[in-house]
Chain A
Amino acid sequence: MKNIIITGSQLKREFFIWFVSFIVAVAVNVYSIIKYDTSWTELYTHLGYVVMISIMLYVALWALRGVFLLVRKIARKK
């Protein structure tokens, strides 16, 4: 069985990507509060939704990066 080694820099990079996703999710929450004229308390009362959206964004980015790497790998082989 092949060992998978995750380096510290890779971990930092993944955390940074998730953190960017989280900031985007917070921005989405702010936008929705303004658009639907709801309470600013939703910034913290609905933090759970924000975290969920950030995870979904992170997973979507992870999938996109996977596809990108796969295409690049195929292109280089040719």
Chain B
Amino acid sequence: MQDKYQSRRDFLKKMALTGSMATLAASPWLSVFGQNSMAGQKPSDRVRLAVIGTGGRGKQLMRHLFELKASNNVEIAALCDVYEPHLQEAAKMCSEQDIKPVLYRDYTDLLNKEKVDGVIIATPLHQHAHIAIDCMKVGIDVFCEKSMARTLDSTKAMYDAHIETGKILQIGHQRLFNPVYLEGMNRIHEGDLGQLGQLRAYWHRNNDWRRPVPDETVAMDRFINWRLYKEYSAGLLTELMSHQIQVANWAIQKTPVAVTGTGSIVFWKDGREVNDNVALIYSYDDGTQFIYDSMTSNKKYGLEEQIMGHKGTIEFETNRYYTETPPPAPGIIQMINDMESGFFGKAMIGGASWMPETAATYNGEPIIEDTDFYDTGLQLEGFASYIRAGRAPEALTREGYNASIWTLLGEAAIETGERLTLPEKYII
């Protein structure tokens, strides 16, 4: 990544230079980027935002907002957090940027006293729904971090509030704004990969999610380490997989019809309630399967989404495209290889007629050359643009909703050990 923040204008210029304008046209939520005009600089054009939840993710989003301040006429007008150390740290960050937001400890006070255009919600998962719904009901547009909500019902309630109020509800799936994904998805949807068969994704870490707690009380542990307790989080599923099921749905352009799964606590046996090891299979009505696993005790394979069609494969996280018919090796290399195998012979395993079908060494090609974009910044830029336009593409909200719903259904499949389909009341 480069140091300089690349805005939507840089993004547009580079897409035009690389002939990828079709990608823009194919992504409805980027149409606002195509309206290549600068945000007005008058005070009346300013988008006033509040950040609710100023922990790690909230502060990360604030750093991106600082970048947008001048180019997009965006102002952080208020901050809110129930945890005083986080609130003060966020206030200090703002002060270093010469920004003086009003501080709140209760989001209802913020809603009563501040006239903001939009809120950014980065609280623990179980608090997303009621805060987002309250904001939309008083006429404030909402950007909410993924996953949408802790339960199926609260996720649906958020979506219903968005429909009833007409206010923007954008969920923080930043890959929707990532140029690598945009170009890759365009190729998939144009049929470059042929018929998709399997999509595989994984997110492997080797670390303890438990964070230090200022005092030893159980209440504070649950407050700080909310990701480890089922009351507040579905662990790996809502924190990590929700991003990747969104990518799978986006690639297939459908939502699953069923999910099965399993999970366990195999390594971090420290009193946490969420699994540290999960595996799920999502089935789609065209026979495509999305196969997922995640763990926190081995990081050799890291993170990836692999989209596999009969003509090619895309690996998004590493920005690679692999055709199923790679160009042949140069003649001289082929000859050397043939001489080598003629001289040394082949290792036979399991009998003379069987050769191990290991993958051929083929490095593929990049999906796009320039990856120096911050997708999180671009999605916030999108949010500011949508607020100005007074609406956001519905497809954006639906992506977030479906990812969240199927993440939670995956959790239920693990809990029950059954193959689950989506109850009709949650279909939108």
Binding site for B on A (CB under 8 A): 28-29, 31-38, 42, 45-46, 49-50, 53
Of all A-B residue pairs in the complex, the 9 with the closest CB atoms, nearest first, are A32-B331, A36-B331, A38-B331, A32-B335, A33-B331, A32-B332, A36-B334, A42-B330, A49-B332
- Evaluate contact between B332 and A28: CB separation under 8 angstroms: yes
Contacts of B335 in A (CB 8 A): 28, 31-32, 35-36
Q: How many A-B residue pairs have CB under 8 A?
A: 36
Contacts of A42 in B (CB 8 A): 330-332
> Which of chain B's residues 296-346 have a Cβ closer than 8 Å to chain A?
328, 330-335
Nearest A residue to B328, CB-CB: A38
Q: Chain B nearest CB: distance from A67 CB in Å?
A: 21
Contacts of B333 in A (CB 8 A): 46, 49
- A-B contacts, 21 of them at CB < 8 A, read A28-B335, A29-B331, A29-B332, A31-B335, A32-B332, A32-B335, A33-B331, A33-B332, A34-B331, A35-B331, A36-B335, A37-B331, A38-B328, A38-B330, A42-B330, A42-B331, A45-B330, A46-B330, A46-B333, A49-B330, A49-B332
Q: Chain B nearest CB: distance from A53 CB in Å?
A: 8
Q: Chain B nearest CB: distance from A59 CB in Å?
A: 17
Contacts of A46 in B (CB 8 A): 330, 332-333
A26 to B270, CA, bound (A): 66
Nearest A residue to B335, CB-CB: A32
Contacts of B334 in A (CB 8 A): 32, 36, 38
Q: Chain A nearest CB: distance from B328 CB in Å?
A: 6
A29 to B7, CA, bound (A): 49
Given contacts A32-B334, A36-B335, 5 further A-B contacts (CB under 8 A): A31-B335, A33-B331, A36-B331, A42-B330, A53-B332
Contacts of A29 in B (CB 8 A): 331-332
A78 to B332, CA, bound (A): 46
